[in-house]
Structure 1
């Protein structure tokens, strides 16, 4: 199908595609308590069941593994397969700040709103619709084509560890859970906690630090509670943790307000101020700029004061360029820590690199340029995607240049005009990668 006809076909089916996407958006597939036949909770499992039912209605072959991950498949002539990989689980959606029901697909002009519409139900359902169009036109691929639906991406990707233990990997493919153009490298990430013991009495008036803290975003509201019962509240603008420069960290406001205190707590708040106000890490001695992947990025997303042990805890993540080793990063970090501090490493994610000249990446570049008319030169990202969890996969979409800080926030959105482009790109990419020439 040529691009002009493809666009026309997508337009003709758009309302129906939106109805099916709506039925999946309305399932609040946030990770829950493990139970029989639902290892990540009832709702992620319900979302998987709903999507596989839609795939079956399109006449596609379906399968699922351990109630964790499923796929729709268009069989090919080869025993190999190529894949589009996405996830149906979503982060929580507190009602505060939403202008519509987060678990209802809301259409306003050229925009669709709802939790998961961008991250990642809209894009991976788009890949399913693209596969359905290929099925409808009786396309016979050389390599089988799978659209894989995970249900634990937001909480550690245990689903794909299960998948990899049973299934052979794809020979090529993409995850529409990053950005355009095609991403050939993802930075490394280390998630840490700094525990600083306050051995003098300079923090004796502090009872606690409270807020809605998550590694996924920087907080917009933090409270400093005192032994006297007094409470000081600090506000900011929430932003995803991989885009700290787009918001205002409420923890920065707290740290700046308290950095003038005397004693050891004052010095600890000074370090916290430096870490929260300069997201490049330069003020705490870890600034680094990679030739390919740009500036290092630090995001302080949580804090607590443990009165029983007189410790200030600061929780943060660092996304570092592929040219920098984790060992060198940690060595630089430990040089400037406050006195009596202990650094805990909570999570480590290695950098990802794929040769940008790989045939599959060049195919994606060409398709992106043909659909959008934009420069498709491969890029790097601060994001952490499913591409790290399955061999021979790269991030490709869904956010277009200039679109940042949308996921994990209130009023998550995806432009309808962009979704149509995404479906077209996915259709052409799946078809191209499934041809018999080498990937």
Structure 2
């Protein structure tokens, strides 16, 4: 019987070389370079092409699906086992110790944008497939490793892909944590817009809907530090003035960014800037937005949306704020359990606004992903968990659900399987200093190889 852990060690050097190459492509969505065959921009197109080319170099069957995704395939049979990860990344942000798109190796730690979300884990599955091929292990099903190009910005890639390609019998995405995540909340992007009369302020905060920003910039508004010193200290915030011709014109408020699925781990500067401006200016629009979205209402309780489901409770997190020319746009990342749906959420928010006499705002859903749940005793969940325990000996960390949204829901009979281990050996996804453990990645190659082999032969 093959020892997958020992075999995985043989791919260490290759993993580091490939990750260094892939990280160097800043595969962020870029609307300015979008075209018919580059639907997410030139950099993501380059990252997908790189992935496909690596598969071709190894002699695998490959396909680039109109710039939306690329896959690498091996094996025979009419059914498929899929790994579906992504090569697009969120913007790097400020504060890195070096170039975020140049892989930094410090001891066992690997640092760079995309290291753990999701280029490193996806490369581990690619090398796991290569291990299976190199050892000539028999398969009853084909295995596909698929890289999507729009996971961070709306899931258009995987939806386009499955309009043209078959769905798998079994699948997983290596886009969160081991051991197995069998359920996830739905994910809705809710945009709230309206007009703010007689207002010359410029407010800019956030870039993408699923990332809490690090800072918010305000212009044409002056707040005196001496008046708000206690507030800044209590809330662990930093405020820096911006000047033009030696005159203060505004400020930038710094908090702590993070993934919108884990708002408790961030210090959201959008929430805080609304609170701060409301304290200082006491204008109706600021009072309304602070009450609705920047206070203690992150779970939607005041809207009547606080009921807990199997996947947890709703979270409603502001991630993008724009005020320019009196036009206000606030984007909320809404994660909701399986006992809620989009229609109910919108109806209850609208009803509450009407009840409170809050008028002049338009609610628009720009994207939505339904909740997903695979039963704990399913063959897929049991087999993946068994492989994980065999390689790690870890029985303390159970199968669980998550508030994050992944590709698993789009594949139907699929779950999340890695790529982070629960020991903290990787982290800072969507944050400055994203990192992963080299040894953990090599361990995951062995886990993925055995898991794929098992699923392909069930």
Normalising by the smaller structure, the TM-score range is 0.7 to 0.9
In the other structure, the counterpart of 1:427 is 449
For 1:72-111, list aligned pairs within 5 A.
72-76=72-76, 78-94=77-93, 96-111=94-109
In the other structure, the counterpart of 2:350 is 334
Contact 2:270–2:320 (8 Å) recurs in 1: yes
**CA drift at 1:227:** 6.5
Q: How many residues align?
A: 424
User: Does 2:398 align with 1:377?
Assistant: yes
CA distance in 2 between counterparts of 1:101 and 1:271 reads 39
CA distance in 2 between counterparts of 1:314 and 1:50 reads 36
For 1:81-160, list aligned pairs within 5 A.
81-94=80-93, 96-160=94-158
Q: How has the CA–CA distance of structure 1 residues 137 and 213 changed in structure 2, closer, same or farther, with 3 Å as cutoff?
A: closer
User: Does 2:185 align with 1:165?
Assistant: no
Q: Pick the aligned partner of 2:219 from 220, 225, 238.
A: 225
CA distance in 2 between counterparts of 1:47 and 1:314 reads 31
Q: How has the CA–CA distance of structure 1 residues 72 and 176 changed in structure 2, closer, same or farther, with 3 Å as cutoff?
A: same
User: Does 2:42 align with 1:24?
Assistant: no
CA distance in 2 between counterparts of 1:382 and 1:18 reads 31
Q: Pick the aligned partner of 1:290 from 284, 287, 308.
A: 308
Contact 1:276–1:300 (8 Å) recurs in 2: no
In the other structure, the counterpart of 2:323 is 305
In the other structure, the counterpart of 1:361 is 381
In the other structure, the counterpart of 2:341 is 325
In the other structure, the counterpart of 2:234 is none
Shifted more, 348-357 versus 29-38: the winner is 29-38
Q: Deviations over 1:88-109 (max 9, x none)?
A: 2222224x21113212221111
CA distance in 1 between counterparts of 2:72 and 2:40 reads 20
Secondary structure of the 1:85 match is strand
User: Does 2:410 align with 1:389?
Assistant: yes
Q: How has the CA–CA distance of structure 1 residues 49 and 330 changed in structure 2, closer, same or farther, with 3 Å as cutoff?
A: closer
CA distance in 1 between counterparts of 2:205 and 2:15 reads 39
CA distance in 2 between counterparts of 1:116 and 1:21 reads 9
In the other structure, the counterpart of 2:300 is 281
**CA drift at 1:422:** 1.8
**CA drift at 1:277:** 5.0
Q: How has the CA–CA distance of structure 1 residues 101 and 299 changed in structure 2, closer, same or farther, with 3 Å as cutoff?
A: same
Contact 1:240–1:405 (8 Å) recurs in 2: no
CA distance in 2 between counterparts of 1:233 and 1:38 reads 35
TM superposition score normalised by structure 1: 0.88
Contact 1:239–1:405 (8 Å) recurs in 2: no
Secondary structure of the 1:102 match is coil
In the other structure, the counterpart of 1:243 is 262
In the other structure, the counterpart of 2:431 is 409
Structure 1 unaligned blocks of 5 or more:
none
Shifted more, 155-164 versus 349-358: the winner is 155-164
In the other structure, the counterpart of 1:56 is 56
**CA drift at 1:269:** 4.5
In the other structure, the counterpart of 1:44 is 44
For 1:204-219, list aligned pairs within 5 A.
204=198, 206-219=200-213
CA distance in 2 between counterparts of 1:71 and 1:196 reads 43
Q: How has the CA–CA distance of structure 1 residues 16 and 227 changed in structure 2, closer, same or farther, with 3 Å as cutoff?
A: closer
Contact 2:271–2:290 (8 Å) recurs in 1: no
Q: Deviations over 1:3-25 (max 9, x none)?
A: xx322222233122211221221
Shifted more, 116-125 versus 353-362: the winner is 353-362
Over the aligned positions, Cα root-mean-square deviation in angstroms equals 2.5
CA distance in 2 between counterparts of 1:291 and 1:154 reads 25
Secondary structure of the 1:72 match is strand
Q: How has the CA–CA distance of structure 1 residues 369 and 385 changed in structure 2, closer, same or farther, with 3 Å as cutoff?
A: same
Q: How has the CA–CA distance of structure 1 residues 153 and 257 changed in structure 2, closer, same or farther, with 3 Å as cutoff?
A: closer
In the other structure, the counterpart of 2:235 is none
CA distance in 1 between counterparts of 2:101 and 2:5 reads 28
CA distance in 2 between counterparts of 1:432 and 1:154 reads 30
In the other structure, the counterpart of 1:268 is 288
User: Does 2:370 align with 1:350?
Assistant: yes
In the other structure, the counterpart of 1:12 is 10
CA distance in 2 between counterparts of 1:227 and 1:292 reads 45
TM superposition score normalised by structure 2: 0.85
Secondary structure of the 1:118 match is helix
**CA drift at 1:206:** 4.7
Contact 1:93–1:115 (8 Å) recurs in 2: yes
